[in-house]
């Protein structure tokens, strides 16, 4: 049997397993992350399932280790509460990437099995263990049963022939393999890598290569555990183990021999990890930002390589370099060795350990038009923001951050490539198209009312801070009042021309303009309140959004859904149903002027 077949058979009831067979596998360790963990909990609770062997079950909060996103924070706390009830260990936001923790803390070892909500759980092939990313239902089943079904994949053997060039890193090795095999020629296979040069690859190198099995479409990339790997795991392992190796007469569906002496320093072009080319073909492309980290290149060796290039140098003006170690242990080692000081003196941002931008939960995102070079494993469009993402080794990323453009560490220019100021067009016709023409607005409005008899409705109730990254006004309306109890469905029920009537201190809280603009996006005509938060009042007036102060609205004898007529100039409000009339404070001259010209920035 091949290496994977022997691992699977040793965790099943069968002495021998063959490709295509479906077998139940005992899972040594079962992991859920903050990304997907709450859904695992929900599945267990919804189906009334218990957790088998809590001591073999973990949460790892590595996607958003800052807890900076409120949805992640909610998921994390859901998992914490469940963990307390069940006696499950949580590697919280201070720990780092779960798959790395499993290796470094000695939970996994050569020949062991792990499932996780992490699609890169196959990183454990670096130590000759079986790791697999699975969906929330699979993980819930594994937590309950201690086992999962799995279809035994066919195996492929890759022999490395020759010596790997000195300037070729482990990231370059996997990018060269992606160049050869693409994203799907080995789809669904288990890959085993052999050869004299493989024996010289240390744990960090193997982790980098194994972590991108997913990008090759493979089930896993397995390395037969070398003595150094066995010694490392034996020193840390919580379980006695005998390493597993493939049989000498193992049956591989395909065997490849690759001349590694031809390997080059490579980069992946934006959008497709497998679309790799020699770095020299893109050398000189200006970058806006750079990132070093992820489960692929956040190890200690990666940090040391980057530090050796950045030492006593400065990042190019205008370029942002973000560095995120894979685990807290590595972060502390960086501190002990003085690497953090090197990074900071160079001008880099260093964040706490975790997955970083790959999971859209931490540093590493980019914006429209931004060009980033990253050590991550994926650069799918939109995966880490709306910009373009090149993938490369830590050495190339560090060198490029210094140069201000893509380059290699042996070709860093004396002076960095600087941004050139772009002059805006002064064409009068173009300017005329950009400026909205002022138009005279009506000052008498009619509309259906929403009665919201609440005081102190704050800006988080109106437009929650989890949506603050939205800049397109047209997208804002759908989130209006979705954090106001009883009115969460307001945006679905509101109609163009509606008018809101509410209580005291409406719009208290933050200064966010979105809390005004969201009503404009929905076509709300006006808000009438007993009083407004002072910043909100200014924001509304400056945005030419009609608001009126009315101390006493009871005189109108209003019911929800009634229609009213409002004279903005005089402040007169009439209930069109019963013809009752009251007076609000009319628009001031300033408010009326701004309203008519379309806002503070209108002309």
Read off the pLDDT of residues 262-297 as tens digits, 9 standing for 90 and up. Answer: 999 999 999 889 999 999 999 999 999 999 999 899
pLDDT at 439: 58
Torsion region of 257: left, alpha or beta (phi above 0 gives left; psi -120 to 50 gives alpha)? beta
Average pLDDT over residues 462-469: 85
Distance of CA 488 to the CA centre of its chain: 27
Structural domain boundaries of the chain?
3-262, 266-403, 444-596
Task: Write the secondary structure of 120-157 as one string of H (helix), E (strand) and C (coil).
Answer: CHHHHHHHCCEEEECCHHHHHHHHHHCEEEEECCCEEE
Q: What is the model's pTM?
A: 0.82
What's the CATH code, domain 3-262? Answer: 3.30.499.10
H-run or E-run covering 380: none
CB 586: neighbour CB atoms within 10 A? 17
Quick one: angle between helices 227-236 and 203-210, nearest 10? 100
Q: In this model, does residue 174 exceed pLDDT 90? A: yes
Query: In degrees rounded to 5, what are phi and psi of residue 215?
Result: -70, -20
- Average pLDDT over the chain, rounded to an integer: 91
pLDDT at 431: 46
- In whole angstroms, what is the distance from residue 209 CA to residue 206 CA? 5
Which CATH number is correct for 444-596, 3.40.50.170, 3.20.19.10, 3.50.50.60, 3.10.580.10? 3.20.19.10
Where residue 162 falls among pLDDT bands split at 50, 70, 90? Answer: very high
- In whole angstroms, what is the distance from residue 176 CA to residue 170 CA? 10
What's the CATH code, domain 266-403? Answer: 3.30.499.10
- 581: CB partners within 8 A, 6+ apart: 556, 572, 573, 574, 575
pLDDT at 359: 63
Q: In this model, does residue 93 exceed pLDDT 50? A: yes
- Both structure tokens of 483: 């954090």
3-state helix, strand, coil in the chain (%, to 5): 35, 20, 45
Fold agreement (266-403, 444-596): no
Sheet holding 526-529, edge to edge: 547-549, 526-529, 499-502, 444-452, 563-567, 572-575, 581-583
pLDDT tens for each residue of 485-512: 999 999 999 999 999 999 999 999 888 8
H-run or E-run covering 59: strand 57-60
pLDDT tens for each residue of 366-387: 888 999 999 988 888 877 778 8
pLDDT at 322: 95
377 vs 568 pLDDT, higher one: 568
120-158 burial, b for 16+ CB within 10 Å, e for fewer?
bbbbbbbbbbbbbbbebebbbbbbbebbbebebbbbbbb
């Amino acid at each position: 049997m091949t290496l994977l077949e022997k691992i699977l058979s040793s965790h099943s009831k069968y002495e021998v397993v063959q490709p295509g067979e479906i077998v139940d596998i005992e899972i040594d360790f079962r992991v859920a992350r903050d990304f997907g963990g709450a859904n695992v909990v929900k599945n267990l609770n919804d189906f009334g399932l218990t957790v088998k062997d809590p001591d073999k079950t973990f949460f790892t909060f590595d996607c958003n280790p800052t807890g900076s996103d409120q949805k992640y924070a909610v998921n994390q706390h859901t998992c914490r509460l469940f963990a307390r009830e069940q006696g499950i260990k949580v590697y919280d936001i201070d720990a780092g990437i779960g798959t790395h923790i499993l290796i470094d803390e000695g939970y996994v070892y050569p020949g062991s099995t792990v499932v996780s909500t992490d699609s890169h759980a196959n990183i454990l092939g670096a130590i000759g263990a079986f790791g697999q990313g699975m969906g929330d239902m699979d993980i819930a089943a594994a937590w309950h049963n201690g086992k999962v079904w799995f279809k035994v994949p066919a195996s492929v053997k890759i022999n490395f022939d020759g010596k790997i060039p000195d300037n070729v890193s482990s990231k370059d090795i996997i990018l060269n393999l992606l160049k050869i095999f693409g994203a799907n020629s080995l789809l669904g296979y288990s890959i085993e890598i052999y050869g004299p040069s493989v024996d010289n690859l240390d744990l960090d190198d193997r982790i980098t290569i194994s972590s991108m099995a997913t990008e090759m479409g493979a089930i896993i990339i397995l390395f037969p555990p070398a003595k150094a790997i066995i010694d490392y795991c034996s020193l840390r392992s919580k379980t006695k183990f005998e390493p597993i190796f493939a049989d000498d007469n193992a049956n591989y569906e395909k065997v490849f021999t690759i001349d590694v002496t031809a390997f080059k320093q490579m980069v992946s072009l934006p959008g497709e990890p497998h679309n790799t080319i020699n770095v020299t073909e893109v050398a000189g492309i200006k970058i806006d930002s750079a990132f070093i980290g992820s489960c692929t290149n956040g190890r200690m060796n990666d940090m040391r390589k980057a530090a050796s290039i950045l030492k006593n140098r400065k990042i190019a003006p205008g370029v942002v370099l973000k560095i995120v170690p894979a685990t807290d242990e590595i972060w502390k080692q960086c501190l002990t060795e003085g690497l953090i000081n090197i990074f900071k003196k160079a001008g880099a941002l260093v964040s706490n350990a975790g997955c970083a931008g790959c999971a859209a939960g931490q540093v590493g995102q980019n914006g429209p038009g931004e060009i980033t070079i990253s050590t991550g494993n994926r650069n799918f469009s939109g995966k880490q923001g709306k910009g373009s993402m090149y993938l490369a080794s830590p050495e190339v990323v560090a060198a490029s951050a210094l140069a201000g453009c893509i380059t290699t560490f042996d070709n860093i220019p004396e002076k960095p490539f600087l941004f050139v100021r772009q002059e805006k067009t002064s064409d009068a016709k173009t300017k005329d198209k950009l400026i909205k023409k002022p138009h005279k607005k009506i000052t008498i409005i009619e509309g259906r009312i929403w009665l919201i008899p609440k005081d102190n409705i704050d800006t988080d109730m109106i437009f929650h801070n989890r949506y603050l990254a939205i800049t397109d006004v047209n997208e804002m309306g759908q989130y209006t009042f979705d954090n106001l109890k009883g009115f969460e469905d307001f945006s679905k029920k509101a109609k163009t021309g509606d008018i809101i009537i509410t209580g005291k201190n409406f719009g208290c809280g933050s200064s966010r303009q979105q809390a005004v603009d969201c009503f404009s996006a929905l076509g709300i005509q006006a808000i009438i309140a007993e009083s407004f938060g002072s910043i909100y009042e200014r924001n509304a007036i400056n945005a030419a959004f009609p608001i009126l102060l009315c101390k006493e609205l009871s005189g109108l004898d209003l019911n929800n859904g009634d229609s009213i007529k409002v004279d903005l100039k005089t402040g007169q409000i009439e209930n069109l149903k019963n013809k009752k009339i009251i007076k609000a404070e009319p628009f001031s001259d300033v408010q009326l002027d701004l309203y008519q010209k379309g806002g503070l920035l209108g002309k």
